[in-house]
Amino acid sequence: MQINFKRYALYLLRWQASTPILAGVGILLAGMGYIVAAIIANLIGGLIFFWVDQFIFTSQSLATQWEVRENITCVDCGKIARGYRLVRAGDYDKSNDPVPEFRCEECSKKKSETLRNKGIKIE
């Protein structure tokens, strides 16, 4: 299993964000009993964090993004083939590259390995 550390860090932060809700509602509703207060606090947390969690686990802005195009000329070997281009991975961001470089599958794998060796995490 590969861990996306950006998602993991956000997920840990999101758990911290639920702390004040749990504590605040717990204090406000303590008179109703701790169990009832915890149930209501978790209900409020669930209503909010369902959406936050959905973003954390499905957002493409946190994921590795590839662009695939048919019939490109590979910038490395010149072969005309289906082309791949890494758009975004971690801090690597070529989403606004004015001259996007596409590579054939074979050269793309080599390039990915080079980027991995530079410390770029490609999922």
Q: What angle do CA 111, 115, 118 make, to 5 degrees?
A: 145
Q: Which is nearer to Zn ion, 37 or 108 (CB)?
A: 108
Least gap, CB of 72 to Zn ion (angstroms): 10
74 is a site residue for Zn ion (CB under 5 A)? yes
Determine contact, residues 14/8, Cβ cutoff 8 Å: no
72 is a site residue for Zn ion (CB under 5 A)? no
Q: Which is nearer to Zn ion, 53 or 76 (CB)?
A: 76
List the beta bridge partners of residue 80. Answer: 73
Number of residues forming the site for Zn ion (CB under 5 A): 6
Phi and psi at residue 122, to the nearest 5° = -105, 120
Q: How far apart are CA 61 and CA 29, in angstroms?
A: 38
Least gap, CB of 91 to Zn ion (angstroms): 25
* Interacting residue ranges for Zn ion, rule: CB under 5 A: 74, 76-77, 79, 104, 107
